[in-house]
Amino acid sequence: MKKIFKITFFRKYIWLLVFIFCSALIYGVALKDQDPNKDKLLIEIISYVIKRGHYDPREINDSFSENVFMNYLESLDGQHRFFLQSDIRSFESFRFKIDDEIKNAQINFFNLTFSKLKERMKQVEGFYSELLKKPFDFNIKEEINLDFESLPYASSLDELKTFWRKRFKLGVLETLAAKKDEEIEKKKLDNTYEIISDIEIEKKARKDIEENINNLFEIYNDQKRKDWFSIYLNSIVLQFDPHTYYFAPRDKDRFDMTMSGKFEGIGARLSKRNQRIKVVEIISGGPVWRQDNLEVGDAILKVRQEDQLEAIDISGMVIDEAVKLIKGPKGTKVFLTIKRVEGNIEEISIVRDVVELEETYAKSTLIKDISGDYGLIELPKFYINFENYNERNAAVDVKKELQQLKEKNVKGIILDLRNNGGGSLKTVVDMTGYFIDKGPVVQVKSTGGRKEVLRDVDPSIVWSGPLVILVNEFSASASEIIAAALQDYKRAIILGSEQTFGKGTVQNVIDLNKMITGGTYGDLGALKVTTDKFYRVNGKSTQLEGVKSDIIFPDRYAYVEMGEKDQDNPLSWDRITPAIYKPSVMNNYDYAVEQSKKRLKENPIVSLIDEQALWVKRQQSDFSYFLDYDSFKTEMESKKKYAKRFDKLSEFMAPFEFQWLPEAGQKTPPNDTTIEKRNRGVESLKKDFYITEAVRILKDLSSLDSNRSIAKK
């Protein structure tokens, strides 16, 4: 999230300006006289920037060294496909010495691990083809465990070969089971269709896997030493917190492209967790959003281009390489083999397109009920034009939507912040001001302990009526600021997951090329470093704890670890002195909360969602697989059968009428694409339990029964 504190930049980062000046004197001369090691220089510069600029720099000691040691090996070979136990023992001498290496700008540990990794990769590259020459026997009873956090490394090359053989066998078995079902369905549709034999399917599956591994090693062999060194650097900087990150030059270019809000791809954000590439966000308006064939939590196993017959297995890839395969020019098609959160495996196709910020703008919908009309504003992120704040941003757009809904005489408004990962701080402060008189919105504590209170200074209120804010586990950062502020002011009821994501920190991106002069080393990349922490007006941090919902409505991810507290090395929760503010309680506030909790307790849908959430948790915690066909097939059928009990959730239909509204202030009529998107969006709203409950809360808040009314303070 880019922060706008331009006035205080010089004072806040004077240490950085001084270092840049000194570096120009020291490194500027050195570059002319000799050829220093770029890797060592990067460690020196990054260490200095973090030490002086990080909000809460950790002490670089033996404990720090051990964490880097473990995390780096996890990053290099988390699936235990290359290193042996003897290799790990040879690395052990560095377990408590990496801190000394960092302080002395040495890279002996990296050099040792890098050379050993290349050696083991060469050995695996030499034997994997042999493992795929013979057909697999799926009558043999054996299993494979892929719980890499508890599995030891192979004790010998023979044991490593056995592990690779089982991985290959599992891949072929998954294809065989899926393809056999597909063949049976084809036969049902056409009696004349000749089913492909199991032998042919198995042979083709082995050939595809070999092609996948060939492609994987081609990618590995294309990676340069600097690519692996970037992994090492991030194993160091991520010890300070999950959001401090080193961008190699290529990664920095990608980051800049993302910040510009325009790129060509499928429109989904991916993350790697437990050695799986998973979907963590669907970008509104993008190809995946339009085609509606991927969901948050789905794992992408393989990628196939439309001009290729074989798919590439990406399960063990570095995420950047996987993303490169998935992205592509507008109009081209990519095929993804995915594993649904429920455990089903299938291949889908997606037509790539330009994904633009335009698709994430605020939009409103009118909800019509016999009791009156209500408004919904969906806000995917807190966007902004940093060059011209008055041109277009989330705050300005939401204000227009609020005014449009007021003209429709709505009785209450829902602000949907689900899956909103944050954005501009200034837009949050301005937007919060639309719902309160005036006063503090958020407190920001910066490196060095300086505290600043950001306030709404405009006494005007755009919307003073009933307000419900929808959140989930993916509502983060800026979303948490506005939800927390309006909760503290008692201006809104928060409905959603038990708590929001819990990211209460701010990062700034520092261009490392400005640290030296001369340019002999080429592009050094950039460092995203955590420099500030957010606090609510009541003094509590949103870090880790996030915002607790007033009314908890569980979802399928209720038991899955995905918040800030589940990340490695998050900053701690704390509190500071509260700001001075005056809450004002909405009419029927306590009554509406009590009634909603009662409805949810009695609603069978809620218990079914909770059961589904536990099911998803069990599936994501199951790392053991049968390798004989009968056992594998029986287990898969059992999972499919159990998952069908949740089909009832898709049968839900809201008892309201939804009518989307044109973009507020739009001078030209919406085009056909926009109309199609909004119509499809309305269909989704009809099946959204959370929107329905939010409307019912608004009905309770707007009740005219004076006996339940609570006077404003």
Cα gap 555→497, rounded to integer Å = 7
Q: Long-range contacts: 455-459, Cβ < 8 Å, 24+? A: 455/429, 456/429, 456/430, 456/432, 457/433, 458/433
**Exposure b/e, 659-690, CB count within 10 A at least 16 = b:** ebbebbeeeeeeeeebeebbeebeeebeebbb
Residue found under tokens 């948490």: 480
Check 23, 235, 364, 477 and give the catalytic one.
Answer: 477
Residue found under tokens 């200034």: 426
Cα gap 196→215, rounded to integer Å = 27
* Alpha helices, H only, 287-424: 287-291, 319-326, 394-407
Spatial CB neighbours of 468, under 8 Å, sequence gap ≥ 6: 412, 413, 414, 415, 492, 493, 494, 495, 694, 697, 698, 701
| Radius of gyration, CA atoms only, the chain | 27
**Contact call for residues 280 and 287 (beta carbons, < 8 A):** no
Structure tokens at 523: 């592009």
Structure tokens at 668: 């030209």
Residue found under tokens 């160091």: 236
Cα gap 297→343, rounded to integer Å = 11
Q: What is the CA angle 282-399-365, rounded to 5?
A: 55
Structure tokens at 211: 């092609």
Handedness of CA 454, 460, 463, 467 (dihedral sign): positive
**Contact call for residues 390 and 399 (beta carbons, < 8 A):** no
**Contact call for residues 458 and 450 (beta carbons, < 8 A):** no
Cα gap 379→417, rounded to integer Å = 6
Helix (H, G, I), strand (E, B) or coil at 60: coil
477 assigned to active site: yes
| 470: nearest Cα among 555, 538, 395 | 555
Cα gap 601→596, rounded to integer Å = 9
Helix (H, G, I), strand (E, B) or coil at 337: strand
Residue found under tokens 């919902």: 549
488 assigned to active site: yes
Check 278, 445, 503, 533 and give the catalytic one.
Answer: 503
230 assigned to active site: no
Spatial CB neighbours of 364, under 8 Å, sequence gap ≥ 6: 375, 376, 377, 378, 401, 404, 405, 660, 661, 664
Residue type, 315: S
Helix (H, G, I), strand (E, B) or coil at 675: helix
Cα gap 98→103, rounded to integer Å = 9
- How many Cβ atoms sit within 10 Å of the Cβ of residue 640? 12
Check 77, 488, 550, 555 and give the catalytic one.
Answer: 488
Spatial CB neighbours of 215, under 8 Å, sequence gap ≥ 6: 312
**Contact call for residues 367 and 695 (beta carbons, < 8 A):** yes
Structure tokens at 671: 């085009």
DSSP lists the bridge partners of residue 268 as 282
**Contact call for residues 527 and 244 (beta carbons, < 8 A):** yes
Residue found under tokens 């490196």: 447
Spatial CB neighbours of 49, under 8 Å, sequence gap ≥ 6: 16, 19, 510, 512, 515, 527, 529
Q: Which residues are catalytic, by number?
A: 477, 488, 503
